[in-house]
Structure 1
Amino acid sequence: MTKKAELAIQAATTAAAPVLRAHSPEVSAARARRWGAFFYAEQVLRVMKGYGWTIVMYGVGQPVAYLFAMGVGLATLVQANGAGVFGGVSYLTFIAPALLISSAVMTAANEFTFPVMDGFKWRRVYYGPHASPLTPEQIAGGQIIAVTVRFLLQSAIYCAVVALFGASPGAWGWVSILIATLAGLSFGLPLMAYAATIKEDRGQFAMVMRFIVMPLFLFSGTFFPLDTLPLGVRWIGWISPIWHGTELGRVVSYGYEEEPWLTIVHLVFLLGLAAVGWVLTKRQFAKRMAS
């Protein structure tokens, strides 16, 4: 091929190639102001991807292990001595929604505590995006969106496992995925607002896990109906997102019978907690980043 022909081909190729140009600062700033929460959520999800197997093993492996141990092993003893306590369903079917909701709440206790402290104090990862047009509310919203995606993914995997065990006989069992996500947010958002107030780590999060999360897990009707527990600890269930979420999960999973007004109370309670937590979180993020 002659030199002239090579130059002609090169010129044609160059002419056909699209010219790439970066957005102007004004356009980039406008996009950030509009979609900033989703941009930050993408960054958080990319970080999560780096320890994805840990997320799967903690978020799904742990409750599945509980499901097998309690629902298959212990169930043989429980059903032999108190089959009528669980409303005519197997013990495995009874505890499956509770473990799903508990898993989401425990995930919330992890994702809305130490990562928030990391963002404000340890690595201060919130302040880089804040130097851009992203607002504190968008940074908080991005963190919440990313964790919500995690809730949905791990709950969907767990529900698939529950279906394989035959522990979700109802046609609406998949709605438990949304209920678990709502329960996780109803507990996690107020906790996120609290985490944003902490300036020195003195074991506050360990105290939350030990004296709030674990009692909620144990005394929220997780393993036995709430009304079988002593009155001295029954009140814990009444104020627990785990109990309210579990009751809703049982309704959709196997048709658990309860008064319609009580179902509405469960839903309003979870939505109200999540809404209050979101308002407090936005306010605290804005206050913290302004200081």
Structure 2
Amino acid sequence: MTPGRQGAVLPPRLSAHAPGVSAVRARKFGSWYYAEHVLRAMRSYRWTLLASSVGTPVMYLFAMGVGLATLVDQNSEGSFGGVSYLVFIAPALLASATIMTAATEFTYPVMDGFKWRRVYYGPHASPLGTHQIVNGHIIAITVRLSLTTIVYFLIIAAFGASPSALGFLAVPVAVLAGLAFGLPLLAYSARLEEDRGQFALVMRFVVTPLFLFSGTFFPLDTLPVFLRWIGWISPLWHGTELGRALTYGYALPPWLAVVHVVFLLALCLIGWRAARSVFARRLGR
């Protein structure tokens, strides 16, 4: 602090970096700068995010995993691999919460960036590259998904629904499942130039069927054969199977675990590359 007139203390003078220095830093750390921007924007509605991302799945946990579980356990003993219905359903609800959050963040906010508030165009006018805007957006949403999933997992663990010591590994698995669904959706959302109800259709005819027919509430092999394909292509089913193996020791062959991981990683890679291509076309490189 610098003394001023009559003993007053003045704040230190701040000086900006030279344009050349700022440009070099932006090119080097631009993805992280944009991620910081997105996360700071989320702070203004953080309580809404917490209520929607955690509150809704917790209500499902109470309704399906606690309330309905009492009836299911009394009448379906042994139907869920020797564990209670609450333990069976908890990893699926964890992955479902992450995927639904990803579906929210990679739809309307993307349209907002291109059309309504056009928030992508300001950073693009700076030294930030298009790929850095895409990467920064993904980093920020990954942070959000991780925080939401951690909180939800702690709630699940408090209910005794994750008896395995490896249960905490279900958190990164759920985040991976969320990104496997969200990144292709990011590429699709970036292609849209007008909102004609496409996102509502995605929620109704993609997200909801995946939630219902991906082995969330009952084993996938109990479905008719003509419906099982929905689970096979669903990131939710792959993430749920891995989560169950981690939270309570569900018998999962090693080769199938590898298939689940490779499938989720492949969707992430395809969606990421497609999103970069669409952003580059719409914003310019």
Cα offsets for 1:96-155 (capped at 9, x unmatched): 000000011111111001000000011111001111001111111111111000110000
1:263–1:24 Cα change, 3 Å: same
2: CA distance, partners of 1:220 / 1:101: 11
Matched to 1:102, the amino acid is: S
Return the match for 1:207 from 197, 201, 211. Answer: 201
Residue matched to 1:43: 37
Q: CA deviation at 1:18?
A: 6.9
Q: Counterparts in 2 of 1:111-260, with a 5 A limit?
A: 111-260=105-254
Q: Deviations over 1:212-244 (max 9, x none)?
A: 000000000000000011112111000000000
Q: Distance in 2 between matches of 1:198 and 1:257?
A: 42
Distance 2:43 2:15 in 1: 30
Report the aligned-residue RMSD.
1.7
Extract unaligned runs of 5+ from structure 2. Answer: none
* Distance in 1 separating the partners of 2:4 and 2:211: 68
**TM-score scaled to structure 2, two decimals?**
0.95
- What is the distance in 1 between the residues matched to 2:16 and 2:56? 46
**How far is the alpha carbon of 1:79 from its aligned partner?**
1.2
Compared with structure 1, are the counterparts of its residues 263 and 28 closer, same or farther at alpha carbon in structure 2 (3 Å cutoff)? Answer: same
Which stretch has the larger CA shift, 78-87 or 204-213? 78-87
In structure 2, what is the equivalent of residue 23 of structure 1?
A: 17
When normalised by structure 1's length, the TM-score is: 0.93
Q: Which residue of 2 aligns with 1:75?
A: 69
Q: By how many angstroms is 1:19 displaced?
A: 6.3
Whole-angstrom CA distance in 1 between matches of 2:221 and 2:14: 66
1:60 maps to which of 54, 59, 77: 54
* One-letter amino acid matched to 1:278: W
Corresponding letter in the other structure for 1:32: A
**1:270 equivalent among 264, 271, 278:** 264
Return the alpha-carbon distance in structure 1 between the equivalents of residues 120 and 4 of structure 2. 47
Q: Give me the whole-angstrom Cα distance separating, in 2, the residues matched to 1:59 and 1:247.
A: 22
> Take 1:143 and 1:166, find their aligned partners in 2: how far apart are those partners?
35
In structure 2, how many angstroms separate the alpha carbons of the residues matched to 1:10 and 1:116? Answer: 49
Q: How far apart are residue 21 of structure 1 and its match?
A: 2.9
Gaps of 5+ in 1: 1-8
Cα distance in 2 between the residues matched to 1:78 and 1:193? 40
> 2:26 is matched by which residue type in structure 1?
A
User: Would you say how many aligned residue pairs link Structure 1 and Structure 2?
Assistant: 281
Task: Give the superposition deviation at 1:290.
Answer: 2.1
**Higher-Rg member (1/2):** 1
CA distance in 2, matches of 1:219, 1:201: 28
Listed as ranges, the matches of 1:84-95 within 5 Å are: 84-95=78-89
Q: After superposition, give the CA deviation of every residue in 1:52-106 in whole Å (9 maximum; x if it has no partner).
A: 1111111111111101111111011111121211000110000000000001111
Q: For residues 159 and 75 of structure 1, what CA distance do their matches in structure 2 show?
A: 19
In the alignment, the residues of structure 1 paired with residue 252 and residue 14 of structure 2 have an alpha-carbon distance, to the nearest angstrom, of: 61
Q: Percent identity among equivalent residues?
A: 63
Paired with 2:144 and 2:124, the residues of 1 have a C-alpha distance of 24
- 1:75 partner letter: A
Secondary structure of 2:118's counterpart equals coil
Distance 2:209 2:258 in 1: 25
- Looking at structure 2, the residues matched to 259 and 206 of structure 1 have their Cα atoms a distance apart, in angstroms, of 37
The letter of the residue matching 2:83 is V
